[in-house]
């Protein structure tokens, strides 16, 4: 990702995470990191469990507040924080993931126990750390299958891919990019 006009609060957060050695990565939607940096998307940050306390202290120091969903909608291993960027007059939403919990939007109930290898693969991309494409592709495929091809999704009529997920220009929609990434994944796994 090229450097983009990131919100001050997001830039400060990423800088603090790096300075304090927090093991994390922006684990999904990496094709839209510029939107995340501008605060137009939430920040989906996977954080090492051993760094939870220090990560939370950084968020609080920067003025973020924890927001809890109703108990029936809470997902184990995921916590929401909101901060306010005064200069941009904008809220910043951090989706802190301490586990890779996947599934359709209403019933995220599958734990993929790959957090540490996923975090270990992270590389710097602009202001964010992101997983290597091979890992992101594998997890993306699993996410989409769980989100759109489970009985929960089918019965709740969420099994159909939204237009945005099917349109050209989205990550992995170009057959050549997908084929190349898949070949890299295959060589990593096999």
Residue 18 forms part of a structural domain: yes
Domain membership of residue 74 (yes or no) is yes
Distance CA(161)–CA(36), nearest Å, equals 22
Integer Cα distance of 63 and 87 in angstroms: 14
Residue 164 has a CB neighbour count (10 Å cut-off) of: 8
CA–CA separation, 85 and 12 (whole Å): 10
Q: What is the pLDDT along the chain (190 residues), one digit of tens a residue?
A: 445 589 999 999 999 999 999 999 999 888 899 999 999 999 999 999 999 999 999 999 999 999 988 877 778 888 999 999 999 999 999 999 999 988 766 667 788 899 999 999 999 999 999 999 988 999 999 888 887 775 655 555 555 555 555 444 444 444 445 455 555 555 544 4
Residue 22 lies in a domain: yes
Both structure tokens of 83 = 């901060």
The number of domains in the chain is 1
Cα of 163 vs its chain's centroid, Å: 21
Residue 1 within a domain: no
Query: What is the span of the domain harbouring residue 103?
Result: 8-189
């Amino acid at each position: 990702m090229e450097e983009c006009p990131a919100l001050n609060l997001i830039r400060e957060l990423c800088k603090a995470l790096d300075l304090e050695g927090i093991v994390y990565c922006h684990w999904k939607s990496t094709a839209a990191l510029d939107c995340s940096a501008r605060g137009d998307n939430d920040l989906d940050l996977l954080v090492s469990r051993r760094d939870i306390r220090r990560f939370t202290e950084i968020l609080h120091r920067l003025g973020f507040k924890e927001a809890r969903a109703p108990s029936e909608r809470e997902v184990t291993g995921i916590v929401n924080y909101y901060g306010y960027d005064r200069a941009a007059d904008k809220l910043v939403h951090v989706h802190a993931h301490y586990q890779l919990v996947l599934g359709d939007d209403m019933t995220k109930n599958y734990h993929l126990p790959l957090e540490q290898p996923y975090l270990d693969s992270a590389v710097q991309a602009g202001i964010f750390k992101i997983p290597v494409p091979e890992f992101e592709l594998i997890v993306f495929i699993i996410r989409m299958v769980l989100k759109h091809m489970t009985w929960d999704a089918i019965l709740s009529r969420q099994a159909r891919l939204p237009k945005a997920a099917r349109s050209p220009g989205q990550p992995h929609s170009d057959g050549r990019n997908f084929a190349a990434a898949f070949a890299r994944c295959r060589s990593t796994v096999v």
